[in-house]
Amino acid sequence: MRNFATCAIFFLTVSLTGCINSLYQAETAALDTAGNERNFILYWTNTEPWIGTSKAGPAVLLTECSSARPAFVNTDDGIIFFGLMGYDQLPDQSGLNSGRLLCGKIENYTHLREIRAGSISVTMRCKPTADDFSVGNKTYLAPRPEPYVLKVLEKERQWSFLGKSLAAPLAPECRSNGR
Partner 1 sequence: MAVDPQKPRKILVVHGVQMGANEDLCQDAMIRDLIKSRIGDIPLNFECDLFKYENIEDDALKKYNQLISLLVKNPIGSAVGKAVLDIVGDVVLSLQDGSCANKIRSGLKKKILETYDAGNPCYIVAHSLGSIYALDVLNNLIGQGGLFDRSSRKTWPIQGLLTIGSPIGLGMFRKGRASVSPLGPGEKWFRWLNIWDPNDPVVSGEIFGNYLVGNRIAEKYVSADTNHGWVIRDIVTDTGKTWLMAHTAYWQTAVVGDKLVDMVTA
Contacts with partner 1, residue ranges (CB under 8 A) = 16-17, 19, 21, 43-47, 49, 52-53, 55-58, 60, 62, 65, 67-71, 73-76, 82, 84-87, 96, 98, 128, 130-136, 138, 162-168, 170-171, 173-174
CB of 123 to partner 1, least distance (A): 19
CB of 145 to partner 1, least distance (A): 26
CB of 136 to partner 1, least distance (A): 4
- How many helices (H) and strands (E) in the chain? 1, 11
Cβ atoms of 32 and 66 within 8 Å: the answer is yes
Looking at the Cβ atoms of 119 and 134, the one nearer to partner 1 is: 134
* Alpha carbon distance 32, 179 (integer Å): 11
Looking at the Cβ atoms of 3 and 165, the one nearer to partner 1 is: 165
* Alpha carbon distance 89, 143 (integer Å): 11
